[in-house]
Amino acid sequence: MNEEIDICGVLVHAKPGSADQVKDQLQKFPGVEVHAVTEDHRLIVTVDQSDRIEEKMMTKTISSFHDVKGVLSAALIYQHAE
């Protein structure tokens, strides 16, 4: 069975003092993994979605990052599908 997978790299900038809280909240989203938190309150995040999940789910997930308390910005940095 050929399953398509879509992977996005996202850079999230948190308010000072909020990075750990933001990390905890982001990891509750399906397919989201926080790989690192930098000293300047930035989080390196990936979002993985397979073709079994609604096609628009990845866009909704990344857009929802802006609704997390403490998030200043979330920018799509990388996208790959295979």
Question: What secondary structure, in 3-state letters, does the chain show?
Answer: CCCCEEEEEEEEEECCCCHHHHHHHHCCCCCEEEEEECCCCEEEEEEEEECCCCCCHHHHHHHHHHHCCCEEEEEEEEEEEC
Q: What is the pTM of this model?
A: 0.87
Query: What confidence tens digit (pLDDT) does each residue in 40-74 have?
Result: 999 999 998 865 555 578 888 999 999 999 999 99
Q: Which domains does the chain have, with CATH numbers?
A: 5-81 (3.30.70.920)
Query: What confidence tens digit (pLDDT) does each residue in 23-47 have?
Result: 999 999 988 999 999 999 999 999 9
Query: What confidence tens digit (pLDDT) does each residue in 3-27 have?
Result: 777 899 999 999 999 999 999 999 9
Return the pLDDT at 6: 85
